Amino acid sequence: MSDVPLLRDTERTTGRSALQNNIQAAMALASAVRSTLGPSGLDKLLIDDDGRTLVTNDGVTVLESAKVEHPVARMMINASSIQDKIARDGTTSTVLLSAEMLQNSWHLVTQGVHPAIIARGFRMAEEHVRELLGSLALNSSREQLLQATKTSLSGKGHEAMQSLLATLALDAAQAVRFDDASGTSADPTRVKVLPQAGGSIQDTRLVTGLVLAKNRIHQEMPRSIGSGKILLIDGGIERRALMSDMKINVTSTGVLDSFRKKEIELLQQQVEHIKSLGVSLLACKEGVDDEARVLLNEAGIQAFRRVARSDLDLLARGCGATLVHDVQRSTSKDLGAFISSKNENWAGVVHWIVETEEGGATLIACGSTETIVGEVERSFADALGVACRLVEDDRLLPGGGATHVALARRLRRFAESIPGREQLGAEAFADALEVIPRVLAENAGLDPIDTLLKLVAAQSNGGADADQIGLNVLARNPSNMVESGVLEPYGIAFQSIAGATEAAISILRIDDVLWARQDPAMAEVPEMD
């Protein structure tokens, strides 16, 4: 064969150089969110291409808003996004843990340890940590669940806002809780958020049921009705338009009257069909003809039009109904059930409130400006996700870095039982876990090394509840996190460590990076001898 290189138009990095570049990219990404961790974490000002600004300290929001091209950095962002999707918290911790694992791995690689051996050590350490987490988990009470939800809001808004949103999130999670054969579940997508600019954050409240800024289509329709059947139409009750662009020459008024009578007759048939099904509440995605409004009012049916498809989906899930496209084809099987439906006037705006049998809730998010309302929405979404996870799994772990220090201490003892070089990987894993208390101390203005040494010493000499000793940022010293009310859900810590380990191992196993400088389809094929 000829000596013409196959990758002529591709930039290639291999071996240690590739690994070093990948780890540098991971560390650079971690540094972007490092200062946001913990109650003393700082905010980031994000500015998009249109000049719109957003102030937040949510790690995944910062990372997903950044324009990152490096593939390793994208892998880290994906791990953070998955953490946010599954646990709704711990996104910054995931990135920090993964980056710290990679940095510790680089120190071992420079000493001659093969990346594959380090990866095996990481995997052994992760399996042992999963077992240890179960032994550290605590049974929870309602008050502790509230404290854990509040802990997830650390650094987001002021103390009063955190307490209010944590309480509302836990109440909302209970409202969408349901039990089935597979266990207890809580679906956060069944909680609607209705933003209202004006007033203060303390005006934010939770309403049981679905709330829409809608008024009934006829003022004589009942303002409030009790339980009954609901029909959801993915369309409207309107006069049919011609199917094509055609012109009709009317030679006498009788023909035009016949057209109108037929249109009204078709509307009457639809209303009669709805009435025959026993429907007492109707919601349409599109409009309702004036003639149909009168007929529906006479039938005693409360009706609403121009309801968004997303809201119809929420109604369908909450009421157990099925969206229908054609009224005439609807059957009793398509109907759902509701507990109550009413119209209320809030600050001059009429709202429709539907309480459903399958549960559901609406958060009325208030704030003095749209920016503050947006922050309330984002904070509540995070708190709600955490609260729903707590409803499904109410096990808790001590916060403030206590769990990570306890895991690192026990993992080092486990590493001593590993005979091969994988022991070094397990020890590097243990060192990486301590990045959480170090960053918490750093963001609180404390010396990270001195603080970590105090935590380790306190746990080593603390007695029965030693594993619960973590960094109390407000008191600026080690203390019992359970007594201080600093708790975090078991599922968040579990998923954070698992996600960080997977990302670190995936990056660690890359030893060849190929950057194509042009479209591969346009590359020249070398001649064969």
Residue entry with tokens 């409360």: 302
Counted residue by residue, the chain has a size of: 529
pLDDT, position 206: 92
Q: Calculate what percentage of the chain has a pLDDT beyond 90.
A: 60
CA torsion, points 315, 316, 317, 320, in degrees to nearest 10? 120
pLDDT digits (tens, 9 = 90+) for 306-356: 999 999 998 998 898 999 998 988 999 999 999 999 999 887 889 999 998
Nearest by Cα to 229 from 270, 279, 274: 279
Which has the higher per-residue pLDDT, 259 or 354? Answer: 354
Residue 469 one-letter amino acid: I
Nearest by Cα to 7 from 510, 515, 527, 511: 515
pLDDT, position 84: 87
Residue entry with tokens 């662009």: 245
pLDDT, position 258: 75
Q: Is the pLDDT of residue 36 over 70?
A: yes
Encoded tokens for 349:
């705006």
Candidates 289, 334, 382, 394; catalytic one: 382
Q: Quote the CA–CA distance of 88 and 383 in Å, as a whole number.
A: 8
Contact 338, 227 (CB under 8 A): yes
Q: How many CB atoms lie within 10 A of CB 182?
A: 6
Contact 427, 105 (CB under 8 A): no
Residue entry with tokens 């077992």: 131
The three-class DSSP label of residue 382 is helix
Mean pLDDT for all residues in the chain: 88
Q: How many CB atoms lie within 10 A of CB 234?
A: 17
Highest-scoring range by mean pLDDT, 47-51, 221-225, 347-351:
221-225
Considering only 118-127, 380-389, 406-415, which range has the smallest mean pLDDT?
A: 380-389
Which has the higher per-residue pLDDT, 498 or 378? Answer: 498
Contact 73, 25 (CB under 8 A): yes
Q: How many CB atoms lie within 10 A of CB 163?
A: 14
pLDDT, position 346: 84
Q: Quote the CA–CA distance of 494 and 503 in Å, as a whole number.
A: 14
pLDDT digits (tens, 9 = 90+) for 99-141: 999 999 999 999 999 999 999 999 999 999 999 999 999 988 9
Q: Is the pLDDT of residue 436 over 80?
A: yes
Encoded tokens for 345:
């006037």
Is 89 marked active-site?
no
pLDDT digits (tens, 9 = 90+) for 161-200: 999 999 999 999 998 888 777 778 888 888 999 988 878 8
Q: Residues near 329 by Cβ (< 8 Å), separated by ≥ 6?
A: none
Candidates 36, 92, 356, 362; catalytic one: 92
Candidates 56, 91, 94, 451; catalytic one: 91
Contact 237, 270 (CB under 8 A): yes
Centroid of chain to Cα 282: 32
Averaged over 76-97, what is the pLDDT? 91
Candidates 58, 311, 334, 467; catalytic one: 58
Could you tell me the CA-to-CA distances from 71 to 11, 154, 272, 515 in Å, in that order? 14, 31, 61, 10
Phi, psi of 326 (to 5 degrees): -130, 125
Q: Quote the CA–CA distance of 261 and 397 in Å, as a whole number.
A: 71
Is 512 marked active-site?
no
Q: Quote the CA–CA distance of 316 and 336 in Å, as a whole number.
A: 7
Is 393 marked active-site?
no
Q: Quote the CA–CA distance of 198 and 219 in Å, as a whole number.
A: 28
Q: What string of H, E and C letters represents the secondary structure of 29-62?
A: HHHHHHHHCCCCCCCEEEECCCCCEEEECCHHHH
pLDDT band of residue 242 (cuts 50, 70, 90) is low
pLDDT band of residue 253 (cuts 50, 70, 90) is low
Q: Is the pLDDT of residue 3 over 70?
A: no
Q: Quote the CA–CA distance of 176 and 380 in Å, as a whole number.
A: 15
CA torsion, points 72, 77, 80, 84, in degrees to nearest 10? -150
Is 362 marked active-site?
no
Q: Residues near 273 by Cβ (< 8 Å), separated by ≥ 6?
A: 327, 328, 330
Domains with residue ranges and CATH for the chain: 10-139+397-516 (1.10.560.10), 210-358 (3.50.7.10)
pLDDT, position 251: 66
Q: Is the pLDDT of residue 256 over 70?
A: no
Q: Quote the CA–CA distance of 219 and 272 in Å, as a whole number.
A: 21
